[in-house]
């Protein structure tokens, strides 16, 4: 009986966690596109105005990123300004929670049919590489190795710590600006 009462609270906690992680990831993607030249190079091949969405089906939490050109991203809070070009959709909140709590790699979740990709698969691969690069910077190596397919061999501690600090500072600044506005 206690377990049945706890289920709605667990579902609500997962939903809130996924929403928070999408906000952090959105701000962090915007920040890393300003900081890291590798991410900018990867993103330059995306068309200007390209909209990327990651969401929980059917109408759950979502993350919307726009490519502004020159490899720079902008995080959109709320709704997309126009139809998205690429959408990665988690089939259930539990699946999103597994990936966003770093219990399951994105590639494993896709292989286990927990996600759908709606749009050009080559853009999905590019965005996955950008997300992997972001996770390699902002997560401790032990957790990042569980979260991404392959940890970058050329990412050394001084670069990681410096860039992570810069990303977290920009994310914190964006959160403060959002609260003040």
CATH architecture of 14-172: 2-Layer Sandwich (3.30)
Please provide the DSSP assignment of the chain as one string.
-HHHHHHHHHHHHHHHHHHHHHHHHHHHHHHHHHH-HHHHHHHTTSPTT-EEEEEETTT--EEEEEEEETTEEEEEPSS-SS--SEEEEESSHHHHHHHHTTSS-HHHHHHTT-EEEES-HHHHHHHHHHHHHHHHHHS-HHHHHHHSSS--TT--HHHHHHHHHHHHHHHHHHHHHHHH-
pLDDT per residue, tens digit, the chain (181 aa), is 566 766 788 888 999 999 999 999 999 999 999 999 999 999 999 999 999 999 999 888 899 999 999 999 999 988 889 999 999 999 999 999 999 999 998 889 989 999 999 999 999 999 999 999 999 999 999 999 888 888 999 899 999 999 999 999 999 998 888 778 7
Predicted model pTM:
0.89
Question: What are the residue boundaries of the structural domains of the chain, listed by start?
Answer: 14-172
């Amino acid at each position: 009986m206690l377990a049945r009462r706890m289920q709605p609270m667990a579902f609500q906690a997962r939903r809130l966690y996924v929403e928070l992680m999408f906000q952090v990831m959105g701000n962090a993607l915007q920040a890393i596109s300003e900081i890291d030249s590798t991410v900018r190079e990867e993103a330059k091949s995306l068309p200007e105005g390209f909209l990327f969405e990651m969401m929980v089906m059917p109408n759950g939490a979502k993350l919307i990123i726009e490519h502004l050109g020159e490899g720079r991203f902008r995080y959109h809070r709320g709704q997309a300004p126009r139809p998205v070009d690429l959408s990665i959709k988690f089939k259930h909140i539990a699946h999103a929670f597994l990936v966003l709590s770093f219990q399951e790699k994105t590639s494993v979740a896709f292989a286990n049919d927990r996600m759908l990709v709606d749009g050009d698969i080559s853009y999905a691969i590019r965005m996955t590489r950008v997300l992997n690069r972001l996770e390699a910077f902002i997560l401790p190596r032990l957790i990042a190795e569980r979260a991404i397919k392959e940890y970058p061999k050329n990412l050394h501690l001084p670069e990681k710590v410096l860039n992570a600090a810069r990303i977290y500072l920009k994310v914190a600044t964006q959160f403060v600006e959002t609260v003040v506005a």
